[in-house]
Chain A
Amino acid sequence: MSRASRGSVTVGRPVEKSSEPGGGHVKSRPCRGAASRPSVGGSHGGGANEASRPPRTLTPRIRRNTPPADWWLPDWVREHVDSNRPVDDLIAEAVRRVAGSPHEATIVTVQTLFNELSRNPDHAAAVRVAVRTLLDKHLRRRAS
């Protein structure tokens, strides 16, 4: 275990300049570690006795990032797209909606929208600026 130089975190404003990428090479599928022997020979097991199980309510608070399978564009997004308004306007509208209604459904909708837009590097750059503004306002206010 070591704190190595492969990556590092720099506190402060995101820096726009790009750095040299590391040496490129073709990646193979990762090898499994010691705790992953293939299941060959006699190989099976069992679960715990019911009596020894903890209460079902004791689950960690987790967030998954996979969008719902039936997710599609909300009407307000569709209106922007259909009227050919600039992507920046759509991003600004999304930020406005989150700032005005920071609820689970709104945040997840905007997060899904932003991630779909961010598949395009140009849109990702615009999203980054908008998210920066949003987080500055939202998180700094909570921290202060």
Chain B
Amino acid sequence: MAIGAAAQLYSDPGMKGSSLLTGLAAGERYGLLNYGDLDSAGLLWSVRSGTMDSSDSNLNVVLFDNEDFDGNFLQLSIGREDHDATFEDSGNNTWSVLLIASNQAGTTETRASFVNLFRSKWDSLLDKLLQGTQLSREGEPTLTWRMFPVYPPSEGYQYYQNGDQFLSSDLTYLHIQQELLVTLPWYWSNYNALVDYYIQLFVAGNQVQASVAAWYLTVDPGAKSSKIWNLLAPQVQSGMNALQSQLNNELAFTSALNPTDVYLLPGTQLTSLGAGPALVGNTFNDVTIVVVS
């Protein structure tokens, strides 16, 4: 096994305190440090400095404020030509960490913002599907990711989200969440409903393809909740096919790229990052789809 990248995380500034050594073998994409991994090394809430080394790829160390690789994040990166680097973080609240190898030697990357690629298409698709019904789109969707979901919670105090029971803890997913307004006739109050779709990206047939892995529907509690859920659920379920078809239309451009892999980065990062200021963002605002050729 060849070591491709490594990082040492420290509990105190200046590479002091307790530490955790982690890394990726050459060719690996993601390294996972969950709540328990950080807690056992004395690094929970407290990744204050570190070292990064890489030779085969850019190395991105992403520190998340939530324990399931989402929410606010701080991304520290080095280019493969940088070789080694150090970092300091003065405002740390880390609950989970992802190591992500990008820009691997011998590959070309094409990047797309999930929001830019799909939000307007989603709006059009949904508005068309809801036309003439008692349902309407309530604002814009959240276009985000769901990384290595754990269900049921098995170690420590781990979160899980609606839909995780249908997903694999070894996979990464795009996640679309949309709030809907259910308008009821006078004189009943309206209800809100929340629809979730989880999508796996993969390379097949010489292009990146999407597969909708799971759907989820939540309706406001109330006397009419179950009835509304029963009315909506078949539509949400059948919407998987329309969504998958629309996504694959938007991903058709990848057939010209001769892709070999596809992976995700947090937030919007359309260019490869090397050493320098950290990238700060929130996974609920956007996700970057990286097509590898």
Contacts and interface: CB of A to CB of B under 8 A. Distances in A.
**A, B from the same assembly:** yes
Given A8-B277, A65-B22, A118-B41, A45 B162 contact: yes
B45 interface: yes
Contacts of A143: 55, 80, 83
Contact of B27 (A1, A44, A61, A135): A61
Contacts of A41: 218-222, 225, 229
B88 A7 contact: yes
Interface string A10-37: 1111111111111000010010111111
Nearest to A63: B31
A11 B280 contact: no
Contacts, number: 310
Given A33-B66, A48-B213, A114-B21, A64 B32 contact: yes
A22 B217 contact: no
Given A30-B66, A41-B220, A21 B90 contact: yes
A61 B28 contact: yes
Contact of B41 (A4, A22, A46, A119): A119
- Interface residue range, chain B: 35 or more
- Interface residue range, chain A: 35 or more
A62 B31 contact: yes
B136 interface: no
A38 B155 CA distance: 21
B19 A127 contact: yes
Contacts of A2: 279-281
Given A42-B229, A45-B217, A46-B214, A131 B202 contact: no
B48 A21 contact: yes
A59 interface: yes
A82 to B, nearest CB: 25
A121 B171 contact: no
Contacts of A4: 277-280
B211 interface: yes
A38 B113 CA distance: 28
Nearest to B80: A143
19 contacts: A7-B74, A8-B278, A22-B91, A33-B142, A35-B142, A36-B159, A48-B240, A59-B171, A61-B29, A62-B31, A63-B99, A104-B25, A107-B3, A121-B12, A135-B3, A135-B6, A135-B53, A142-B26, A142-B55
